[in-house]
């Protein structure tokens, strides 16, 4: 329970950090606003063309009676719009993180600078960092999608599907949302996707305490836009808690201590008188 509350406190700390640093909060809003405009345009286009899509999907109903054909295609159009809206809610955060990779990298670095400094940069080119981020984001999305399909199948089980499955789904989504948000700060420390998952799994209550409230909050895309900068800041603070030690800057090699003086070696003394030669 203590780690759950600690994770939630990191979330609140991140939001407070974003409010206190308004310029960086506004900077972090830009990717979310771009994603919101793209999603709204896509959903409006889907709503406008949903009737034509429904006609194209259901050619077998061309010879049905007018009432049955209209009812089927209206239902199909409604399902298309509803499915598109659900897909938008599920993918909004991942797409925003991919679009905002450079923005959130700068925001995370600024958080580390203000909070006491972070590790030295890895020295990777921007395109290597972009490919790294896209690969890890794709891996995370595929894992969540696979687990989501499994949970969807379990949702048809009586009682379990209406009680256990939603809780497990929220926990899985919260864990991987935490992984996606902490990826920027963890990558700065040289951790791969598997290493990040292992690190967060070792502090599972902490990760869930941070991510599950965000999942519930991000169900509203407009709220997600305004909360995203604080979420990135909070995730950076969480990484600093998990990995507080920053590597010391490399300096000139220390001079070797002088060797200890050796004991003086006694020189040859006077020779002892030899025997007196006899005649």
pLDDT digits (tens, 9 = 90+) for 28-38: 999 989 988 99
- pLDDT tens per residue across span 147-180: 877 877 787 788 877 788 888 888 988 898 898 8
75-84, 162-171, 266-275: lowest mean pLDDT where?
Answer: 266-275
Q: Between residues 100 and 16, which one has the greater pLDDT?
A: 16
According to the model, what pLDDT value does residue 18 have?
Answer: 92
Q: Specify the range with the lowest mean pLDDT, choosing from 18-22, 114-118, 144-148.
A: 144-148
State residue 241's pLDDT score: 86
As a whole number of angstroms, the distance between CA 236 and CA 119 comes to 12
- Chain-wide mean pLDDT for the chain? 79
Q: pLDDT for 208-219, tens place per residue?
A: 999 999 988 887
Phi, psi angle pair for 156, to nearest 5°: -85, -5
Return the closest-CA partner of residue 104 out of 195, 210, 27: 27
Q: Is the pLDDT of residue 262 over 50?
A: no
217, part of any domain? yes
Q: How many CB atoms lie within 10 A of CB 215?
A: 20
Q: Which domain holds residue 223?
A: 2-242
Contact 115, 237 (CB under 8 A): yes
Q: Is the pLDDT of residue 268 over 80?
A: no
Q: How confident is the model at residue 233 (pLDDT cuts 50, 70, 90)?
A: very high
**C-alpha–C-alpha distance, residues 11 and 210, integer Å:** 6
In a domain, 44, yes or no: yes
- Between these two residues, 222 and 30, which has the higher pLDDT value? 30
Which is more confidently placed, 128 or 190? 190
* Cβ neighbours around 235 below 10 Å, total: 29
- Residue 138 in any domain: the answer is yes
Position 126 scores a pLDDT of 61
**Spatial separation of the C-alpha atoms in residues 224 and 15, rounded to whole Å:** 12
260 found inside a domain:
no
Q: Is residue 83 included in any domain, yes or no? A: yes
**Residue 15 has what pLDDT?**
93
pLDDT of residue 274: 47
- The CA angle 135-141-145, to the nearest 5 degrees, is 145
In the predicted structure, residue 25 carries a pLDDT above the cut 60: yes
Q: Which residues of 150-173 are buried (b: 16+ CB within 10 A; e: fewer)?
A: ebeeeeeeeeeeeeebeeebbbbb
Token couple for 149: 């399909």
Say yes or no to pLDDT of 46 above 50: yes
**Most confident segment among 84-88, 229-233, 245-249:** 229-233
pTM: 0.72
* Number of domains comprising the chain: 1
255 assigned to some structural domain: no
For residue 92, tell me if it sits in a domain.
yes
Flag whether 75 is in a domain. yes
Show contacts of 136-141: CB within 8 Å, 24+ apart.
Answer: 136/183, 136/187, 136/192, 136/193, 137/94, 137/97, 137/98, 137/180, 137/183, 139/193, 140/94, 140/176, 140/179, 140/180, 140/193, 141/91, 141/94
Which is higher by pLDDT, 267 or 181? 181
């Amino acid at each position: 329970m203590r780690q759950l509350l600690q994770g939630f406190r990191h979330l609140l700390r991140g939001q407070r950090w974003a409010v206190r640093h308004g310029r960086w909060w506004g900077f972090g809003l830009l990717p979310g606003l771009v994603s919101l405009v793209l999603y709204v345009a896509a959903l409006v286009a889907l709503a406008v063309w949903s009737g034509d899509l429904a006609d194209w999907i259901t050619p077998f109903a061309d010879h049905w009676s007018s009432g049955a054909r209209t009812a089927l295609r209206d239902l199909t159009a409604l399902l298309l719009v509803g499915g598109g809206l659900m897909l938008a809610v599920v993918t909004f955060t991942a797409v925003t993180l991919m679009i905002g990779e450079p923005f959130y990298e700068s925001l995370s670095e600024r958080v580390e600078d203000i909070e006491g400094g972070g590790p030295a940069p890895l020295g990777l080119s921007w395109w290597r960092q972009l490919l790294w981020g896209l690969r890890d984001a794709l891996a995370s999305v595929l894992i969540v999608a696979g687990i989501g399909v499994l949970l969807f199948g379990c949702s048809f089980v009586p009682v379990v599907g209406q009680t256990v499955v939603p809780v497990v789904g929220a926990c899985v989504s919260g864990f991987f949302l935490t992984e996606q948000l902490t990826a920027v700060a963890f990558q700065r420390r040289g951790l791969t996707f598997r290493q990040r998952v292992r690190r967060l799994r070792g502090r599972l209550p902490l990760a869930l305490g941070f991510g599950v409230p965000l999942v519930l909050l991000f169900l509203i895309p407009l709220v997600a836009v305004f909360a995203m900068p604080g979420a990135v800041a909070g995730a950076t603070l969480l990484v600093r808690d998990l990995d507080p030690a920053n590597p010391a800057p490399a300096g000139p090699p220390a001079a070797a201590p002088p060797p200890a003086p050796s004991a003086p070696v006694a020189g040859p003394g006077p020779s002892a008188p030899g025997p007196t030669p006899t005649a």
